[in-house]
Structure 1
């Protein structure tokens, strides 16, 4: 069994922790660029009867 699984983590949690530690270990000029890649945007679309439900706001 892998160490991350023995620690009670799933692979996603393990990889997030590892990525954060690598970014913290970078030199300051490279750390800024890596911080930009750390941001994520997620768009959720609900579907009904095979068609997306368009939210009118």
Structure 2
């Protein structure tokens, strides 16, 4: 059995954990704002009525990496 399966997580969660660990392990010269910005998430909500989309709203905006 795969390690991620035995840990009780999905493959996507496993891949995200690996990507985050790799970004955090980068040397300082490779650790740019563009790379660190990939480590943030945002959440949008958009309501649909009768096949027409309404205005998008941010539930949580992604914050810039420091």
**TM-score, scaled to structure 2:** 0.63
Runs of 4+, deviation exceeding 6 Å: none
Query: Normalized per residue, which structure has more strand?
Result: 2
Q: More relative contact order in 1 or in 2 (CA 8 Å, sep 6+)?
A: 2
Aligned residues: 55
Structure 2 residue runs of 5 or longer lacking an equivalent are: 57-66
Query: Normalized per residue, which structure has more helix?
Result: 1
Structure 1 residue runs of 5 or longer lacking an equivalent are: none
- Which has the greater radius of gyration? 1
Aligned CA-pair RMSD = 2.0
